[in-house]
Structure 1
Amino acid sequence: MAHLRPLENHEVDQELREMFEHYEKTRGFCPNSVKTMARRPNISKTFGKLNQVVLYEGTVDEELKMLVALASSLASGCRYCQSHMANLSSIYKAPDEKIAAIWEFETSELFTDAERAAIKIGIKGGTLPNEASSEDFDELKKHFSESEIVEIVATVALFGYLNRWNDTMATELEELPTQVTERAVGHTGWTAGKHV
């Protein structure tokens, strides 16, 4: 059970209402994490801007960023973020088989060498203590420019924040990402844990 109730649209200012509505239009729901942060409006608003810049701007493919975020969330253990990133990976055209194979990314034929290098940074960067090595970055540099590497690491760092936020707050998982995750990876034994 969540430690704090997410705020409703009528409880926030116009800028946050517009942000909530944007999420509802693009994802089919507004994340409870953002609605809980809204008790301090500038935290929610600033997070929204950072999320936009990290995940939706730049030259790294959005599907890959979603898979990197999923890998980082798997490594950290945050079930809320795992579900959200399975959902967003699906929205950005990753097939269910690829989402389910994320732990086998090093051997699965579903992933390219470039994707493997980025996902490895996601997993190792999401692990505590951090396990990303110079060898991992050498491999990453074979496939991505320095600017693109910044995008990939920014994705991992953004989810470091979200994984801690949602696991600490026991943020309640919404229906849509739960359905997508159960469809894509339910057969692996995934459960929402404390996020129900």
Structure 2
Amino acid sequence: MARVRDIPSSELPPDLAAIYERFAADYGPFRNQVAVFAHVPAALRHLMAMLMELREAKTLPKRYLEIAIIVVSKLNECHYCVAHHTPFLTVEGISPAGIDRILDYRDHPELDEVDRVVVEWAIAAWETPNRIRDALYQRLRAHFSEAQVVELALRTTLCGFFNRFNDALQIEEEQEAQARLAAAGG
């Protein structure tokens, strides 16, 4: 159970309840997280709506987004996010065993050149953002537009925020997320 009470959408104004329910229904099994975010209406209104808008825009291919999210979540040991995003990444073609060892990207048999640069970028963007080498950025730019690089940086670092938020407030994995993880072989 989270450190704060879950707020049901029925306690929110209609505009916020709509965002809450749309996020919980369409984005994935994140109802426990959105129920905590509901304590701060501006966060619910802007963060959840932004995540849905980014997903709809499809600027960044889902495989690379999920790789970055899993990498940062593993670095931060956020079990909530790893559990939620592992099934998304298995759909993108990486096995649960491959996801388990994604931080060992250099010789990872399931990762191609682009996947590897995304892993390397996510690690650098999270751990040493002020020391990312130009060579790594150029390798990333060889595969991604500027808009995609910006979104990758946004989603990578935002993931770290979500990791810390989830852990600080002890948000529990939803049963649906646990079931999806088990079905994915994780």
TM-score, with normalisation over the residues of structure 2? 0.83
Deviations 1:115-151, CA, capped at 9 Å, x for gaps: 1111221223233787643332122122212221111
Q: Which residue does the alignment assign to 2:32? A: 32
Over the matched positions of the two proteins, sequence identity in percent amounts to: 22
Q: Which residue does the alignment assign to 1:21? A: 21
Pairing 1:148–2:142 present: no
TM-score, with normalisation over the residues of structure 1? 0.80
Pairing 1:93–2:110 present: no
Number of corresponding residues: 185
Whole-Å Cα distance in 1 between the matches of residues 165 and 9 of structure 2?
21
Moved more, 54-63 or 6-15: 54-63
Alignment of 1:28-177 (within 5 A): 29-90=29-90, 92-97=91-96, 98-127=98-127, 132-177=132-177
Whole-Å Cα distance in 1 between the matches of residues 168 and 4 of structure 2?
11
Moved more, 47-56 or 177-186: 177-186
Is the CA contact 1:114–1:143 (under 8 Å) kept in the aligned structure 2? yes
Is the CA contact 1:75–1:124 (under 8 Å) kept in the aligned structure 2? no
Whole-Å Cα distance in 1 between the matches of residues 23 and 95 of structure 2?
22
Whole-Å Cα distance in 2 between the matches of residues 24 and 58 of structure 1?
19
Deviations 1:32-70, CA, capped at 9 Å, x for gaps: 122111112121111112212444424321122112111
Moved more, 148-157 or 7-16: 7-16
Question: Structure 1 residues 23, 50: closer, same or farther in 2, change over 3 A?
Answer: closer
Deviations 1:68-113, CA, capped at 9 Å, x for gaps: 11111111222112222213334x5344344334223321232121
Is the CA contact 2:23–2:52 (under 8 Å) kept in the aligned structure 1? no
Structure 2: gaps spanning 5 or more residues: none
For the aligned residue pairs, the C-alpha RMSD in angstroms reads 2.5
Is the CA contact 1:86–1:177 (under 8 Å) kept in the aligned structure 2? no
Whole-Å Cα distance in 2 between the matches of residues 60 and 129 of structure 1?
20
Is the CA contact 1:87–1:180 (under 8 Å) kept in the aligned structure 2? yes
Q: Which amino acid aligns with 2:153?
A: V
Q: Which amino acid aligns with 2:115?
A: E
Whole-Å Cα distance in 1 between the matches of residues 168 and 130 of structure 2?
19
CA offset at residue 20 of structure 1?
Answer: 2.9
Moved more, 16-25 or 42-51: 16-25
Instruction: Report the 3-state secondary structure (helix = DSSP H, G, I; strand = E; otherwise coil) of the residue aligned with 2:148.
Output: helix
